[in-house]
Amino acid sequence: MKIKNKINVSKPYLPNKDKYFRYIDKIWKNNHLTNFGPLSIELENRLCDYLGVKNLLLVGNGTLALQIAYKVLDIKNEVITTPFSFAATTSTLIWENIKPRFCDIDDKSFCIDTKKIEKLFSKNTSAILGVHVFGNTCDIESLQNIANKYNLKLIFDAAHAFGVKYKNKSVFCYGDISTISFHATKIFHSIEGGALVFRNKDYLDEAKSIINFGLKNTIPEILGINAKNSEFHAAMGLCVLDDIDFIMEQRKDIWEYYFNNLKDDFDMQILNKDSTNNYHYFPILFKNEDFLLKGIEELNKNDIFPRRYFYPSLDTLPYIDTNTPCEISQNIASRILCLPLYVGLDRKIQDLIIKILKR
């Protein structure tokens, strides 16, 4: 089979262009481009309704969302977190002069191993930062119990967890703050963007001031930055949200086809039985890195470009002063591969990917 265009691991969903332009016409009509405009407020309200949450705040991207979370919760010194995540989870901590204390992961869920956290606790620990890896939820109750025991703040990097429910509630309802990414490659996107969901409304009010230069009634009363999003981004978000049920159905069909055809040949992430699946990524594990590299080589020959995600394990990065090596994370990172998964992926392409991998 000859592929006309490169098949990447993801492809941004683009809604109906005419619908997007109708939202853009509203921007021209009211001449409000940013600074908490009507489309941004509409998107926040609709996201709260769709996700079943309160206290949601849009920001410029998911990285900023993490940084705002640290500021709102007054996180300092050290944070216990996972090395198996995207670089932003760690780099945001270091950027804010907070030291990450890496806890190794569970080899089935790929999430932080709660049984190993307490031995990392010190008088300098101020928070736990968990990651719902590929949208698979952490052991939320155990993390909350540890946070309560040691009087720590609990943050969830939920960049991949849009629409996920844990025990029939939005996964964003847990912890002190959950952060979300609305980057173009995500299930729901606003081209660039992100959000925070707060358990406490006081945190929301403070964050809303922080992302607008610290202004309160036009006076800078607290230290702030500019982390707002624009009306043009909100317009895209509203369009994509209109199509979210279709997007989810398409992704589910593709994910399940991979699973049914590859489950006997590859080890896979074990999903939390108390959570729903949002079909964000489809990762598989090779027996070792040599097999993985050979698989990538064969796929690339056919213009198919999966991604080593997450690689490398963050405790191995050159700018990290790590406490102890995380052997499980390093092992998983060395042999994991995320396969192409996006709305419109041709079934014939899927069959070719499956055939190559099986071979």
The whole-angstrom separation of Cα 272 and Cα 216 is 42
Assign residue 303 the CATH number of its domain.
3.90.1150.10
Q: Is 148 helix (H, G, I), strand (E, B) or coil?
A: helix
Residue 127, class by beta-carbon neighbours within 10 Å (0-12 exposed, 13-18 middle, 19+ buried)? buried
Residue after which a domain boundary falls, among 242, 271, 292? 242
Give the distance, in angstroms, between the CA of residue 338 and the centroid of all CA atoms in the same chain.
Answer: 15
Count of domains observed in the chain: 2
Query: Could you say which of 193, 226, 242 is where a domain stops?
Result: 242
Evaluate whether residue 253 is within a structural domain.
yes
Same domain, 199 and 107: yes
Rounded mean pLDDT, 130-142 = 98
Distance of CA 134 to the CA centre of its chain: 7
User: Per the domain annotation, does 3 fall within a domain?
Assistant: no
β 283-285/304-305 pair status:
unpaired
Domain ranges, residue 180: 17-242
The predicted-structure confidence for 257-305, as pLDDT tens digits, reads as follows: 999 999 999 999 999 999 999 999 999 999 999 999 999 999 999 999 9
Say whether both 76 and 111 belong to one domain: yes
Q: How far is CA 101 from CA 126, 127, 301, 336, in A?
A: 11, 10, 40, 23
Six token digits for residue 196: 């925070």
For residue 204, is it within any domain? yes
Q: 335 in a domain, yes or no?
A: yes
Q: pTM, whole model, 2 decimals?
A: 0.96
List pLDDT tens digits, range 4-16: 789 999 999 999 9
**pLDDT reported for residue 12:** 97
DSSP state of 226: B
Model confidence at 1, in pLDDT bands (50, 70, 90)?
Answer: low
Last residue within a domain, chosen from 211, 242, 273: 242
Q: What is the strand order of the sheet 99-102 is part of?
A: 56-59, 194-198, 177-181, 153-157, 125-131, 78-81, 99-102
pLDDT tens per residue, range 71-117 = 999 999 999 999 999 999 999 999 999 999 999 999 999 999 999 99
The answer to whether residues 308 and 255 touch, using CB atoms and an 8 Å cutoff, is no
Question: What angle do helix axes 38-51 and 17-30 make, rounded to 10 degrees?
Answer: 130
Full DSSP string of 79-96: EEE-SSS-HHHHHHHHHT
Q: Which two tokens stand for residue 313?
A: 């394990």
Contact 281, 160 (CB under 8 A): yes
Structure tokens at 219: 């006076």
